[in-house]
Amino acid sequence: MAAANTLETVELTERDRAMLAGKSGEAAAVAMRILVTMAAVYGAERLLDIEGAHIDGCLYHGDSGVDFAELLVAGGARVRVPTTLNVGGLDLLHPEEFAGTADRRAKALRLMECYEGMGCRTIWTCAPYQTTPRPAFGQQVAWAESNAIVFANSVLGARTHRYGDFIDICAAITGRAPAVGLHLEQNRRGQVVFDLRSLPRSLRSASWLLPAIGYLVGERCGNRVPVLLGLKEADEDGLKALGAAAASSGAVALFHAVGITPEAPTLEAALGDREAEEWIEIDVSDLRAGLVSLSTAPGGAEAGAGEGVDLAIDVVALGSPHFSPREFAELLPLVERHPPAGSVEFVVCTNRLSLDELERRGSLDRLRSLGVRVVVDTCVVVAPILRTPAGGVLMTNSGKFAHYAPGNVGFDVVFGSLAECVRSAHAGRLWRDAELWP
């Protein structure tokens, strides 16, 4: 009866019904049943065609993920649209980086193999927008992974709802998605304005500013659509960091930065020619409060102290979302001047395309010789990569790492700029640059 009711509430095409009936194989029928059921849960009246997908279900969290993937493979599953893969549970190029059990390794590998067998593109990255091709403005896609979703919607102007494990691959196999949420133009207008115009000019170049703003926006905005007014400039790496932080502290899947992102040439355009539901003015004290939220280690939120802060740093972890070639170009000279101390584990997560670029430039060997571990295909927060026992202090310039590290890897966390992370790793103690902090 439930299935019949679902079919009555969601409008289906002949092709949809044929897939439901098994005309395209058992896996496609399973995927369509799940998709139609979820469309009804979302309140969607119909399905729409998608032109691409990004899958989060390839990351091992437990046996259910492997069981479901094997069910699809056994049913002959193949993706119908270009489909990329999020991080997996292993660095396949450097298996020695894995620090988990043999059982977990085997299951993580099996899950990754299943998704490769369905025809997905094995880029293994949380930042598929750093690869090509990537979705065009207005293109309908089904992306999972919170930072990828917010980047696709905000920076690229593509259209995707929030998708998670299992729903993402069902959309890829069927080529269809529920016509709901941010797929629809009427749901993309801004709702909450964050007015940044009173922030001092001296902060504009602070490398911690955008993730700090993002984290603050997520905390105050929830799942509404924020509009950032007065953000003077930001490159893609900065917008990546902002969006990832906002999607971690809240459920932000789309933001508009007036004069920067494609759907916000003006404030009026960002708001869809309506009044804002809420207007929030952000000043330095708000940013300081946000920075405090990003550090859990005792004394880790203290700013401007310079040399001599008495807080030992055990790990520096960068690359959530995955480090880009431009970020590596910024990191290398900093590390060459201040290489990490032998007591500090220094890890950077990235994707294979960035790794290839590092190798072409001769930068990879230089980083490794200085004590920097470069890990691909996976991420410190979701896989057993760190060799340092839990319980110490991890420092990062990533709002997303800062949010998830205490719960996922068992470290207290300190948030800082890239330069502060490098200098702290070199000293083995927390180092703050007083000039970077208001």
Give pLDDT, residue 1.
38
Q: What is the pLDDT of residues 205-229, one digit of tens each?
A: 777 889 999 999 999 998 999 999 9
Contact 80, 19 (CB under 8 A): no
Share the mean pLDDT of the chain: 94
Domain boundaries, the chain: 2-183, 189-293, 315-436
Classify domain 2-183 by CATH number: 3.30.499.10
- How crowded is residue 245: how many other Cβ atoms within 10 Å of its Cβ? 32
Q: Specify burial of residue 396 (Cβ count, 10 A radius: 0-12, 13-18, 19+).
A: buried
Give pLDDT, residue 310.
85
- CATH number for 315-436: choose from 3.30.70.260, 3.30.390.50, 3.40.50.300, 3.30.499.10: 3.30.499.10
Mean pLDDT of 171-197: 98
Q: What is the pLDDT of residues 277-325, one digit of tens each?
A: 999 999 988 988 888 889 999 877 665 444 446 899 999 999 999 999 9
3-state secondary structure string, 377-430?
Answer: CCCCCCCCCCCCCCCCEEEECCHHHHHHHHHHHCCEEEECCHHHHHHHHHHCEC
- How crowded is residue 64: how many other Cβ atoms within 10 Å of its Cβ? 10
Q: Specify burial of residue 172 (Cβ count, 10 A radius: 0-12, 13-18, 19+).
A: buried
For tokens 């949010």, what's the residue?
A: 403
The model carries a pTM of 0.95
Q: What is the pLDDT of residues 377-413, one digit of tens each?
A: 999 999 999 999 999 999 999 999 999 999 999 999 9
Q: What is the pLDDT of residues 120-156, one digit of tens each?
A: 999 999 999 999 899 999 999 999 999 999 999 999 9
Q: What is the pLDDT of residues 232-268, one digit of tens each?
A: 889 999 999 999 999 999 999 999 999 999 999 999 9
Q: What is the pLDDT of residues 12-34, one digit of tens each?
A: 999 999 999 999 999 999 999 99
Task: Evaluate if residue 6 carries a pLDDT over 70.
Answer: no
Give pLDDT, residue 50.
98
Q: Would you say the CATH fold of 315-436 matches that of 2-183?
A: yes
3-state secondary structure of 257: strand
Q: What is the pLDDT of residues 262-277, one digit of tens each?
A: 999 999 999 999 999 9
Task: Evaluate if residue 436 carries a pLDDT over 80.
Answer: no
Task: Evaluate if residue 202 carries a pLDDT over 90.
Answer: no
Look at 298 and 83; give whichever has higher pLDDT: 83
Q: Which of 263, 66, 311, 79 is nearest to 176 (CA)?
A: 79
Distance CA(292)–CA(414), nearest Å, equals: 9
Contact 230, 196 (CB under 8 A): yes
Q: Which of 123, 157, 118 is nearest to 25 (CA)?
A: 118
Contact 343, 318 (CB under 8 A): no
3-state secondary structure of 70: helix
Q: What is the pLDDT of residues 324-376, one digit of tens each?
A: 999 999 999 999 999 999 999 999 999 999 999 999 999 999 999 999 999 99
Task: Evaluate if residue 203 carries a pLDDT over 90.
Answer: no
Give pLDDT, residue 308.
46
Give pLDDT, residue 2.
47
Q: What is the pLDDT of residues 99-117, one digit of tens each?
A: 999 999 999 999 999 999 9
